């Protein structure tokens, strides 16, 4: 599944975020009744459909005796990740601790980021649009998505 585009959303007083219909329509109801929410530096919450998160986690370089850096990364990612069920109206309730960790208020943008959604501060997302666009070619070339001319 691929998520593209963005939507401006308000997180309500009960910490509920309505997943926009254009994103919900891409989910398989049999496999994706929940999302995994992972806080990320820079004021971002990453939302992975349950099937995508479990698939990515299964492919993680797992070992019984990880080195200290890998163990710390695993604890940081999986120790802060939360499984959040979606209600019949397509809403999820984001734990306050995750909202606080990301520093998010009520006015957010839900951004499609290929295999996940990102919840970002709306003002910061909108203010950075032109800057991200101006860097697009350089980023694509750096990560193999484009060719130098």
User: How much is the mean pLDDT over the chain?
Assistant: 93
Residue 92 is part of which domain span? 6-120
Domain count, the chain: 1
Q: Helix, strand, or coil here: 20?
A: coil
Domain contains 33 = yes
| Per-residue pLDDT tens digits for 42-95 | 999 999 999 999 999 998 877 888 889 989 998 999 999 999 999 999 999 999
Domain contains 76 = yes
Q: What is the CATH number of the domain that holds 54?
A: 3.40.1550.20
Domain contains 41 = yes
Spatial contact of 107 and 120, defined as CB atoms under 8 Å apart = no
| Per-residue pLDDT tens digits for 100-124 | 999 999 999 999 999 999 999 999 9
| Cα of 126 vs its chain's centroid, Å | 17
Domain contains 144 = no
Entry pTM: 0.90
Domain contains 102 = yes
């Amino acid at each position: 599944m691929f998520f593209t585009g963005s939507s401006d959303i308000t997180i309500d007083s009960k910490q509920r975020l309505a997943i926009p219909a254009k994103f919900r329509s891409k989910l398989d109801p049999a496999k994706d009744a929940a999302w995994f929410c992972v806080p990320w530096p820079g004021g971002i919450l990453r939302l992975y459909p349950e099937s995508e998160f479990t698939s990515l986690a299964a492919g993680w370089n797992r070992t019984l005796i990880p080195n200290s850096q890998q163990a710390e990364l695993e604890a940081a990612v999986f120790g802060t990740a939360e499984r959040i069920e979606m209600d019949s109206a397509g809403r999820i309730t984001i734990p306050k601790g995750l909202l606080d960790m990301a520093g998010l208020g009520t006015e957010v943008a839900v951004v499609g980021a290929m295999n996940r959604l990102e919840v970002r501060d709306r003002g910061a997302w909108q203010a950075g649009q032109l800057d991200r666009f101006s860097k697009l070619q350089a980023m694509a070339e750096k990560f193999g998505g484009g060719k130098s001319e």
